[in-house]
Amino acid sequence: MQIGLIGLGVMGRNLALSMRAAGLQVVATDAWESARAWRSDGVQVVKSAAALVEALEAPRVILLMIKAGAPVDEQLTELKALLAPGDTVMDGGNSFYQDTARRDEAYREAGFGFLGIGISGGVEGARHGAAMMVGGPEENWKRAQPVLTNLAAKAQDRPCLAWFGAGGAGHFVKMVHNGIEYAVMQALAEAYALMRGPGGLAPEAIGAQFERWGAGPLGGYLMEISGEILQTKDPESGGPIIDVIADRAGQKGTGAWCASAGLDYGVPIPAIMEAVTARQISASTDLRQEAQAQYGASPEGWAPEQFSDLVAASLGCTTIAAMSQGLQLIAAASEENDWQADLADAAHVWRAGSILRMRLLDLITEIFAGSEAPVTLVGAAPIGRMLLGGEENWRKCVGLATMNGVPAPVMTSSLAWFDAIRTDPLPTALVQGQRDRFGHHGFERTDQDGKHHGPWAKGA
């Protein structure tokens, strides 16, 4: 079985090796001559897209591993003049899901197949098995499925690969995966800040604690690498490497896209939004310098005994909140776009190969695969027991963060979300009254049907 690959960066090269190991005949190219200089036994590198198409037998399957945005459109335009009906092109980059839907429509009109594939796992996943989230016409998915199965990680003997519906569905699920990833990464950073500040622990000790947590219910890839980072020495200074890493956190846009999607689909995702905001604040150099000069450092902290238990509970509950918010967003988008996104499939795909892989996903997969799956994750009885079991320590941890001046926006907003979704009535009744008072927007009553207005002063 043949496959074409365009894009020989680190991810592309590792995927090529994975394809070769799976017994596929790989024909590859790259726009950059320096990238085309790479060689590996069993991978045929050619000089151009035209040469690649010529080397593949019809019907062709070609995977793009290039930078998202305009480069994808340019490459697709070039390929359109070279392909034959029945050929399928797959975009494996971090493309915006609405761009993927547009490209799918254009390719269908031209008689070609197109798929958008969200791939998670980084360079390790590309080499040893990635998590793959596919969107596009179902017939194209069925054509490409045998090839993709060879590249996917496995959990419980099932490939971490699923089709989520037409158009941009696959890239949407990957975008939400990244949004949850942002939230979990920030929650881990907040746990580190609490344990180092009020907790008074050195980075190595915090890393060791992360390792211990990683052996239990909180275990996952991000916990694992966080513990590794905190215990790593800087070869130049000899001290903890975390102390010489600048705190300006970068982002490539998927987190912001996810936050925007939450607004578009009317789904509250505060954990993800606050994680994006935390990275924005970290990069706001002028604001931070001025505030530090004006107000000084936060107050000196203190922590009670068993402080790590409070942090562990907060971290676990916050992770559940982020998962629930992200999965609710996938469900809302799937319904509005008439996709077939199955939340059990999403959780399963993330179980292995992905950056987000963690033990919690085993339970989430089981919950949504059941015959009586809840509407949302927090509606599941096992999740309810976990949240209620950790609630007291979650509150104590967030309170200690506030009293000690430790910024913990993801933990804090997740607790506020947990409180809000179970509060009746919410204080937003006053907000609706305000809207009617100044804008005559009207409001619903709890005791009558229809739209109503308040008896405000004349002329209001």
- Under 8 Å CB-to-CB from 331, ≥6 apart: which residues? 341, 343, 375, 376
Q: How many CB atoms lie within 10 A of CB 445?
A: 9
CA distances 334 to 133, 265, 424, Å, are 14, 10, 28
Torsional class of 111: left (φ above 0), alpha (ψ -120 to 50), beta (otherwise): left
Nearest residue to 75 via CA among 92, 59, 58? 92
What is the full DSSP assignment across 353-385? SSTT-BTHHHHHHHHHHSTT--SSGGGSHHHHH
Q: 360-369 vs 307-337: helix axis angle to the nearest 10?
A: 40
Digit-by-digit pLDDT tens for the chain (460 residues) are 899 999 999 999 999 999 999 999 999 999 999 999 999 999 999 999 999 999 999 999 999 999 999 999 999 999 999 999 999 999 999 999 999 999 999 999 888 999 999 999 988 888 989 999 999 999 999 999 999 999 999 999 999 999 999 999 999 999 999 999 999 999 999 999 999 999 999 999 999 999 999 999 899 999 999 999 999 999 999 999 999 999 999 988 899 999 999 999 999 999 999 999 999 999 999 999 999 999 998 777 777 778 999 999 999 999 999 999 999 999 999 999 999 999 999 999 999 999 999 999 999 999 999 888 999 999 999 999 999 999 999 999 999 999 999 999 999 999 999 999 999 999 999 999 999 999 999 999 999 999 999 999 866 5
Q: Which residues are catalytic?
A: 174, 181
Return the pLDDT at 459: 60
What is the distance between the alpha carbons of residues 179 and 188, in angstroms, rounded to a whole number? 14
Report, at the CATH architecture level, how domain 428-459 is classified. Up-down Bundle (1.20)
Return the pLDDT at 460: 56
> What residues does CATH 1.10.1040.10 cover in the chain?
174-421
**Inter-residue contact 51 to 78 (CB < 8 Å):** no
238's tokens: 């000899």
> What residues does CATH 1.20.5.320 cover in the chain?
428-459
> What residues does CATH 3.40.50.720 cover in the chain?
2-163
pTM of the model: 0.95
Specify the CATH superfamily of domain 2-163: NAD(P)-binding Rossmann-like Domain (3.40.50.720)
**Inter-residue contact 131 to 160 (CB < 8 Å):** yes
Task: Check residue 43 and report its DSSP letter.
Answer: E
Report, at the CATH architecture level, how domain 174-421 is classified. Orthogonal Bundle (1.10)
